Amino acid sequence: MPRTSPLIIGHRGAPGYRPEHSRSSYALALAMGVDAVEPDVVVSKDGVLVVRHENEISGTTDVADRPEFADRRTTKTVDDAELTGWFTEDFTWDELATLRCRERLTQLRPASASFDDEQPVLRLRDVLDLVRDASLEQGREIGVVLEIKHVTYFAGLGWDVAGLVEAELTDAGWADGDLPLTIEAFESTVLHRLRERGIRGVYVYLLEAAGRPFDLVAALGRAAPTYKATARPAGLDRLVGLVDGISVDKRMILAPDKLGRVSGPSPVVADAHDRGLRVFTWTCRPENAFLVGQYRGRGGPAAFGDYEAEWGVIRDAGVDGVFVDHADLAVAFFRG
């Protein structure tokens, strides 16, 4: 039977309720009935794939409060952005395993922050095993949507990230297509390398609303195509046969004007579908802080606005997958 609702993907687990990428965040998303969860991976000093949204970890762990790591604080340029803090590539996995997860958006999600400092940082292998176990316990297929971060940056440090991912997926039993695996990245070159290595899964190219992919900027400079150009028909034509789909910032579908009024859905979903490409979008969140202006309500940034109206535009555009922070709200809305 054809899918009647989009794939519901727990974005870093269920970070509307628990610190992102923590074990309880993933466990809650799985219990709430998501179709898949999305771990982001970066690399440790000793080549372990660590589940963090970024390699700079001061905002999502207790590292800044750990005196034994005070001398690791530094400033680096990652994908042309200068950042100061603590970076995964400066820690061994054994050191990272001593850190505890913290809520990144403490002002917006104080209830989630109440779980700070209770849970250790996870490896990719931990999440893969957690999802496999939940699939068996619940008697249904649950997928992993693996996002690979900063591949060109880590290559500059000597890491073959595609090789690390291949080895981990193979060792964990997720490389042969028996389990529902999606691999995504903002850098298309790593997707091509993994596909060439025979890792079976759905390959999805992430597109920002603005800017250019860093891997192509590193190779081509200003001649690198913009994400916006890639989302147009001619750009989508070039993706056919290279990837299975795209994942776009929701604003590329909603197309808000300068006053925050939705003018979409834009043609990007239909254009991609016309070329046989799937379309995911990120991130469906209910708080006013994340909604386009038209759907914000009273109560301040942390209060829930008219998220159902915004999500309705996204649903009606015909997307194939949605990344969500509040898994229960998404299951109720998109499957209701």
Query: What confidence tens digit (pLDDT) does each residue in 247-302 have?
Result: 999 999 999 999 999 998 999 999 999 999 999 999 999 999 999 999 999 999 99
Whether the Cβ atoms of residue 295 and residue 309 lie closer than 8 Å to each other: yes
Q: Is the pLDDT of residue 173 over 70?
A: yes
Q: What is the arithmetic mean of pLDDT over 153-170?
A: 98
Give the pLDDT confidence score for residue 164 in this predicted structure.
Answer: 98
User: Is residue 103 assigned to a domain?
Assistant: yes
User: Is residue 316 assigned to a domain?
Assistant: yes
* CATH classification at residue 118: 3.20.20.190
User: Which pLDDT band holds residue 1 (cuts at 50, 70, 90)?
Assistant: very low
User: Is residue 143 assigned to a domain?
Assistant: yes
User: Is residue 217 assigned to a domain?
Assistant: no
Q: Is the pLDDT of residue 102 over 50?
A: yes
Give the pLDDT confidence score for residue 4 in this predicted structure.
Answer: 62
Q: How far is CA 334 from the centre of its chain?
A: 19
Q: How far apart are CA 332 and CA 32, in angstroms?
A: 10
User: Is residue 280 assigned to a domain?
Assistant: yes
User: Is residue 236 assigned to a domain?
Assistant: no
Give the structural domain span for 102.
7-209+247-334
Q: Which residues contact 141 (CB under 8 A, 6 or more apart)?
A: 135, 179, 180
User: Is residue 226 assigned to a domain?
Assistant: no
User: Is residue 50 assigned to a domain?
Assistant: yes
User: Which pLDDT band holds residue 2 (cuts at 50, 70, 90)?
Assistant: very low
> How many structural domains does the chain have?
1
Percent of the chain with pLDDT over 90: 98
Write 308-316 long-range contacts (CB < 8 A, 24+).
308/333, 310/250, 310/254, 310/262, 310/284, 311/284, 313/253, 313/254, 313/262, 313/264, 313/265, 314/250, 314/253, 314/254, 314/265, 314/281, 314/284, 315/5, 315/6, 316/265
Q: How far apart are CA 100 and CA 109, in angstroms?
A: 18
